[in-house]
Amino acid sequence: MASTSSFADLFRGFAYPLRGIAFIRQQPDLARYWLPPIVIMFCALVLSLVLAGHYHDDLVRWLWAEPSGQDWLARFLAFLHSALEAVAFLLLAALLISLCATLSTVIAAPFNDALSEATEQRESGHTMPAFQWSRAFRDAGRSVRIELVKLLCYLAVMGPLFVLSWLVPGVGQIVYAVFGGFFTTLYFALDYIDWPASRRGHGIRQRLALVRKRPWLMLGFGAAVWMLMLIPFVNLCFMPAAVVGGTRLFRDHERAL
């Protein structure tokens, strides 16, 4: 394994999630791992819209009682009240959907862990161990804890950067765009090799060693994941491909650690 990386690695890294899509299509029985989180998140998104539609008018009435009367001023105020209800629906729906998107990786973590393990076993030719409920719950708890820690670390970095972009116009927004974009790309790259790395007991040093050895490869992979994760609803279907792509990337370049 070469210790340097070429710019062509950027495109190789970008292709790994696409190769993950091809792998999933060739292994239809893996749907038992990637389909449940998609169904769960789809139901959560539908519930978000239902809750927004049911409670947005109550929220507006709590802030401003519905105007009454038949004169021109009352009709104008009623129009503003209706417009405010529409805005409240959009804001409440956006808030709930954003919450679902933020927690989607946490909810999907146990399934992604199982999908990553199954992918590695398929590629290595090893048979899967017999299913055990105790092992399933233990692995699920570990995956959720790890995903929550990663999410909190991401918010701890990006939150202050977002505040800085508003407090220091111009410079803050440039820092947010440049450093925030680089950090997010690197975060997604490391996030989706987490499962095979964790199974080997690798810490952050070993994972960053892969970034040092193959920086363009990891940035290309992280950029591909980030771009498709930005698209609402599409990101739910794309997540399994990113998990498989990250697992295959890790296996292909494990010797660089």
Say what the pLDDT of residue 1 is: 42
What pLDDT, on a 0 to 100 scale, did the predictor assign at position 102?
Answer: 75
Confirm if 38 and 112 have CB atoms less than 8 A apart: no
Read out DSSP for 161-177?
HHHHHHHSTTHHHHHHH
User: Across the 257 residues of the chain, what is the mean pLDDT of every consecutive 10-residue run?
Assistant: 65 93 92 90 89 85 78 81 87 85 81 90 70 57 73 85 83 87 91 88 84 92 88 78 94 80
Q: How many CB atoms lie within 10 A of CB 91?
A: 13
Write the DSSP assignment of 25-65 as a string of letters. Answer: HH-GGGHHHHHHHHHHHHHHHHHHHHHHHHHHHHHHHHHSP
Locate tokens 């970095």: which residue? 157
Which of 109, 145, 91 lies closest to 243, judged by CA?
Answer: 109
In degrees and rounded to multiples of 5, residue 116 shows phi and psi of -60, -45
pTM over 0.85: no
- H or E element: which one contains 105? helix 72-124
pLDDT at res. 31: 92
Q: Where are the beta strands (DSSP E) in 52-129?
A: none
* d(C-alpha 168, C-alpha 215), whole Å: 31
pLDDT of residue 139: 62
Specify burial of residue 230 (Cβ count, 10 A radius: 0-12, 13-18, 19+): exposed
